[in-house]
């Protein structure tokens, strides 16, 4: 009798564990791509800038810890761009006949781009039994690699990146999206993610102890396949 009870218990536990393990998806890797919509903030000069579009691309790794929860990591190359329309209202007191009158009034668009390698580490939660809708959140760390600037689309001389910007940027991100199965092992997801910078990215002194921080939105299209 004891042997029978032991066998029944062992069979029940084995069946339950197998059902749970079969219900959890295998780890997956994927590729990210999509537009970015970003700006900088934190002081009077930075707040004059406007949001601007650019792009990001990278890879992803997702490991399920239960049916509803998973750990998600990305390594993304991200271009965070901001812009400002600068109006020139003439050069008062300048009577130099060499100065081209076309440059005395007008408007130019300045665009600055900060190039980062961004590594977010998120907890993802799938909503409902269908698992088609998800939300994720967590911290991110970004490594600054370069900056570039344009005036009306023409590239200007790059500044001293190492002197102007810190090597690291840290922040938090929050995303919501949907996921579609392409096959038993492949899936396509679309996510809207907000990256909110928490640290000062500038290595220059600011007036009144103000700081410069990043703010960016990503629309991420991800193609993933299970390992």
Mean pLDDT of 81-100: 65
Answer positive or negative: Cα dihedral of 78, 84, 85, 86. Answer: negative
In the block, residue with structure tokens 């991200």: 78
Check residues 107 and 141 and name the one with the higher pLDDT: 141
Q: Quick one: pLDDT at residue 23?
A: 67
Q: Is the pLDDT of residue 10 over 70?
A: no
Can you list the alpha helix ranges (DSSP code H) found in the chain? 2-23, 161-164
Cα 42 to Cα 39, 48, 208, 213: the distances in Å are 11, 10, 11, 6
- 212, 167 contact by CB (below 8 A): no
Confidence of residue 129 (pLDDT cuts 50, 70, 90): confident
Nearest to 170 by CA among 131, 193, 212, 141: 141
Q: Looking at residue 48, what is its pLDDT? A: 87
57-61, 83-87, 130-134: which has the minimum mean pLDDT?
83-87
Extract the tokens encoding 55.
């792009």
Q: Which residue has the tokens 């909110």?
A: 196
**Cα–Cα distance measured from residue 160 to residue 82, given in angstroms and rounded to the nearest whole number:** 18
81 token code pair: 């761009």
* Under 8 Å between Cβ of 166 and 203: yes
Q: Quickly state the pLDDT bin for 203 (edges 50, 70, 90).
A: confident
pLDDT at residue 145, rounded to an integer: 95
Q: Is 50 exceeded by the pLDDT of residue 20?
A: no
* Distance, CA of 39 to CA of 121 (rounded, Å): 22
- Determine the pLDDT at residue 115: 97
The DSSP string of 8-70 is: HHHHHHHHHHHHHHHHSPPPEEEEEEEEEEEEEESSTTGGG-EEEEEEEEEEEEEEESSSSEE
Question: Quick one: average pLDDT of 213-218?
Answer: 96
Tens of pLDDT, residue by residue over 40-64, are 998 888 888 999 999 999 999 999 9
Q: Coil, strand or helix: which one is 115? A: strand
């Amino acid at each position: 009798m004891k042997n029978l009870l032991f066998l029944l218990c062992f069979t029940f536990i084995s069946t339950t564990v197998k059902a749970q393990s079969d219900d959890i998806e295998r780890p997956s890797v994927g590729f990210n791509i999509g537009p970015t919509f970003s700006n900088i903030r934190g002081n009077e000069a930075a707040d004059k800038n406007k949001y601007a579009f650019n792009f990001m691309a990278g890879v992803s790794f997702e490991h399920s810890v239960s049916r509803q929860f998973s750990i998600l990591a990305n390594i993304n190359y991200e271009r965070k761009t901001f812009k400002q329309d600068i109006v020139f209202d003439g050069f008062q007191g300048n009577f130099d006949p060499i100065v081209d009158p076309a440059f005395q009034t007008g408007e130019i668009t300045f665009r600055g781009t900060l190039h980062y390698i961004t590594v977010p580490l998120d907890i993802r939660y799938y909503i409902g039994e269908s698992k088609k809708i998800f939300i994720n959140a967590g911290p991110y760390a970004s490594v600054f690699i370069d900056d570039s600037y344009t005036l009306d689309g023409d590239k200007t001389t790059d500044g001293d990146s190492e002197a102007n910007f810190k090597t690291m940027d840290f922040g938090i991100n929050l995303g919501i999206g949907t996921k579609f199965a392409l096959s038993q092992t492949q899936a396509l997801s679309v996510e809207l993610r907000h990256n909110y910078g928490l640290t000062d990215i500038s290595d220059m002194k600011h007036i009144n102890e103000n700081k410069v921080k990043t703010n960016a939105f990503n629309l991420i299209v991800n193609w993933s396949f299970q390992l």
